Amino acid sequence: MPKLELTSHKVLVFDVYGTLIDWESGIYKSLKPLFPKDTPREEVLEKYAAAELDLQMKDPSVAYSKILDLAWVRLSGQANTSLGHGGPAAVTDEGEGVGASSSAITQQDLDLPSSTLPTSDAECFGASIPTWQPFEDTVQALHRLKEHFALVVLSNVDNKSFSGTHELLKSETHEACKSRYPTDTSDSPFSLILTAQQLNAYKPDLRVLGTALQQFSSAPHSVLPHPSPPWAVEAHEVLVVANSLLHDIEPANLHNLDSVWISRHEKNIIGTKPDLKERGMWTWRFETLGDLADAVDQEVKEARGAT
């Protein structure tokens, strides 16, 4: 049996939030004012993750920014139940927050035109997605990887929110790097961007990854409004790269795809469950995206040395 290599693949399918973007820090910064000061970060994030997944599965047509909005309302109600009358905001039966609260993300933080500013803390949280920052290794690693692969976004996000994140992941310094595949723009690392809003479904629904595979297969059956990319690959040439075992690595396994778990030193909570870790369903594991890029560069160097 030939040695399985990273560079035997042609397409890397990326989760974004948790893999490329430090979404947990962004979420925790916004939500911690809702909870008592001594509430552990892990507890806050676990409560958010449960609310998010429930809302996504109930109605996948709801935009991700609105999912955050609704999760805020739900969690502020839970916090007020535990805190009594001293909580940050009261919640009416209709689900609307009333009263003042000390959200960590302010309207000024969002850098939006005044006409589009959110009008409540819940909406402010929903609009905060573009403010979440990349991990320090992300941008350089992406632009190194695009020299060898077509990079595809497959993310539980809405189009508008990702457009802000996309700007953070572009790089003028890597603009001149050669890429085997055309990218969205010359300074973007991505050849194709697929969002939950486009697919009308949220991961871990297996239809999300299945639709993506159809989109860039050799016999596409696209359900998306934009045309198939100007390249075609088979399933064995696709590599899923993600931090979330629940949302990405397990679906990749069920689709019989190779995968890379970017474990981020196992510090992330959302989508990383102990039972999934014990099953070890990934093909490769790296602590950071930079480590993956290093491994790819090493394979390329060895291959060139052998010729």
In tens, the pLDDT along 256-284 reads 999 999 999 776 666 555 565 556 689 99
- 104 and 153 both lie in a single domain: no
Q: What is the pLDDT of residue 30?
A: 93
1 lies in some domain? no
Q: Based on the structure, what is the number of domains in the chain?
A: 2
Q: What is the pTM of this model?
A: 0.83
CB of 87 closer than 8 Å to CB of 105: no
Distance CA 160, CA 172 (A): 22
36 lies in some domain? yes
Note down pLDDT in tens along the chain; length 307 residues: 456 799 999 999 999 999 999 999 999 999 999 999 999 999 999 999 999 999 999 999 999 999 999 999 999 886 444 333 333 333 333 333 322 333 444 444 434 444 443 458 899 999 999 999 999 999 999 999 999 999 999 999 999 999 999 999 998 776 555 678 999 998 999 999 999 999 999 999 999 999 999 988 877 666 676 777 888 999 999 999 999 999 999 999 999 999 999 999 776 666 555 565 556 689 999 999 999 999 999 999 998 887 6
Domain boundary among 131, 164, 189: 131
What CATH number corresponds to the domain at position 290? 3.40.50.1000
- 81 and 202 both lie in a single domain: no
Place of tokens 């190779």: 258
Determine the structural domain holding residue 223 and report its residue range.
6-22+133-306
Q: What is the pLDDT of residue 94?
A: 33
Q: What is the pLDDT of residue 86?
A: 33
302 lies in some domain? yes
Helix (H) or strand (E) holding 239: strand 238-242
- 205 and 73 both lie in a single domain: no
Q: What is the pLDDT of residue 229?
A: 85
- Beta partners for 153? 14, 193
Domain boundary among 77, 108, 131: 131
- 214 and 152 both lie in a single domain: yes
Distance CA 145, CA 123 (A): 35
3-state secondary structure 88-124: CCEECCCCCEECCCCCCCCHHHHCCCHHHCCCCHHHH
- 113 and 18 both lie in a single domain: no
Q: What is the pLDDT of residue 217?
A: 82
Distance CA 22, CA 14 (A): 14
Distance CA 16, CA 133 (A): 11
